[in-house]
Amino acid sequence: MNNEYIVNGDVQRDKIAMDIKYRRIRGSDIEGICNDPRISGSFIGSTYKDKKPKQYWNKAYLDLLSYAVVAESFNMDYLMYLDEVADFVSRATFKKVVIAGVIVILVIIAGVIVFSYVL
């Protein structure tokens, strides 16, 4: 699996970040990737210092965070934080879709009930 993140000897940091962002890889996969000495050898720093509270975690923040890998940060702490934010955002998006679906169904049911009383 790690070989797909190394092309011509270069670690594809942006591919790792995008795979985390789009939930193709998660926690234990990230740890496995970070244990590869070729990948850990390309780490920038050891921590990610610009973490924000959950109240700021949304799609725009996830997008911004995923771009930090190119210039600012690339280390296990950053990747695990990116995973945590991506998981939170994907769950929030799913909840919004479910709630919207329930509202649509309720509107349809209400319309059917009103329509049946009118006839």
Residue 42: both structure tokens together: 């390309």
| pLDDT number for residue 73 | 83
Residue 103 lies in a domain: no
Residue 109: both structure tokens together: 């049911």
> pLDDT tens for residues 60-92?
999 999 888 877 789 999 999 999 999 999 886
| pLDDT number for residue 85 | 96
| pLDDT number for residue 29 | 93
pLDDT level of residue 113 (50, 70, 90 thresholds): confident
Strands (E), 33-108: none
Mean pLDDT value of segment 35-49: 91
Which domain, by its residues, includes 54? Answer: 2-93
Residue 104 lies in a domain: no
pLDDT level of residue 96 (50, 70, 90 thresholds): low
Q: What is this structure's pTM?
A: 0.76
Mean pLDDT value of segment 15-37: 94
Residue 114 lies in a domain: no
Those residues whose C-beta lies under 8 Å from the C-beta of residue 58, and which sit 6 or more positions away, are 89, 92
**Cα 30 to Cα 99: distance, rounded to the nearest angstrom:** 31
Residue 39 lies in a domain: yes
| pLDDT number for residue 109 | 82
Give the whole-number percent of the chain exceeding pLDDT 70.
90
Our count of domains for the chain comes to: 1
